[in-house]
Amino acid sequence: MSTLQTSPSNAPLSTLMRDGSRAEHTAAEGSSYMASLLDGQVNEQGYADYLLRLRQVYAALETVGRELAATDPLAAAVHDPALERLAAIDADLDHWLGSIGPGSTGRTDELDSPAAKAYVERLEASREWGGLYAAHHYTRYLGDLSGGQAIGRTLDRTFGLNGKGIAFYDFAEVPKPKPYKDGYRARLDGLGLDADQKARVVDEVKVAFGLNQAIFEELSGHLAAYRR
Ligand code: HEM
């Protein structure tokens, strides 16, 4: 195997997923778009452009998830309608695009984002095996329930939002992320995958992080225009 692993391959799947993506996670935290956003240096258009990309990603993640969970036990083990983010993203877009007014880039239909397109294509391809889908599900939703919670609070403070425009980070149906995440990891660990299958899932988690990183890089290219 070409990748360095900090856990033995017989470790629980959730441990392998977390440890196997540690370097990618650190890279995502250090992206200049994220750093600028959390530092209050990205304007409304800059955040809306991120949400527009996430809208495409979650539309695919949630459509594929619903379909796959009906037939694939691995997808069914992670799929949970309580996590769905699409309506929250749309509500947030109303806030952010509404505050920009006419002349903004508009909704997602004409969005020109090679990074979002590549991410959607990979999500579509995860229909091949529920383990691949689970890797994408984990990367987005467990992140949203973890660091995402702090990101939402920082945005609230930085933009003086009083809770408006950050529905994306508000999981009304998951009031306590910690026990939810513990249960989620237990479901992953109970899937009974063999070492090769686990390695395939971990590789896909890394791919998923890379696709998120590509979105940040795309947005980082516009930081001068987004300056607040
Ligand atoms: C500035 C950006 C970010 C910050 C500050 C951040 C912060 C964190 C923190 C503090 C945790 C651990 C929370 C806990 O122990 O419950 C965490 C977990 C996680 N984050 Fe992030 N994160 C960021 C970006 C991302 C991105 C872009 C992704 C992927 C799209 C991501 C995916 C994850 C995942 C999957 C976990 C769960 C790890 C596990 O316990 O298995 N994070 N993040």
Work out how many domains the chain is built from and give that number.
1
The Cα 128–Cα 132 span in angstroms is 8
Residue 125 lies in a domain: yes
Residue whose pair of structure tokens reads 């037939």 in the numeric block: 71
The Cα 10–Cα 26 span in angstroms is 24
Q: Tell me the best of 24, 122, 146 to mutate to test the pocket of ligand 1, counting ligand atoms within 8 Å of each CB and taking the most.
A: 146
Residue 47 lies in a domain: yes
Residue 2 lies in a domain: no
pTM for this entry:
0.93
Residue 7 lies in a domain: no
What are the pLDDT digits (tens) for 126-172? 999 999 999 999 999 999 999 999 999 999 999 999 999 999 999 99
CA-based radius of gyration for the chain: 17
Residue 193 lies in a domain: yes
What are the pLDDT digits (tens) for 115-135? 999 999 999 999 999 999 999
Tell me, what's the pLDDT at 2?
A: 45
Residue 3 lies in a domain: no
CATH number at residue 23: 1.20.910.10
The Cα 110–Cα 104 span in angstroms is 12
Range of the domain at 81: 13-226
Any bridge partners for residue 42, and if so which?
Answer: 227
Residue 147 lies in a domain: yes
Taking the centre of ligand 1 as the mean of its atom positions, its distance from the CA of residue 14, in whole angstroms, is 14
Residue 179 lies in a domain: yes
Q: Which residues have a Cβ under 8 Å from the Cβ of 226 and sit 6 or more positions away?
A: 36, 41, 42, 43, 45, 46, 49, 219
Pocket of ligand 1 (CB under 6 A): 17-18, 25, 28-29, 34, 138-140, 142-143, 146-147, 150, 209, 212
DSSP string, 57-114: HHHHHHHHHHHHHTT-HHHHHH--GGG--HHHHHHHHHHHHHHH-TTS--SSTT---H
Q: Tell me the best of 21, 25, 34, 178 to mutate to test the pocket of ligand 1, counting ligand atoms within 8 Å of each CB and taking the most.
A: 25
What are the pLDDT digits (tens) for 187-216? 999 999 999 999 999 999 999 999 999 999
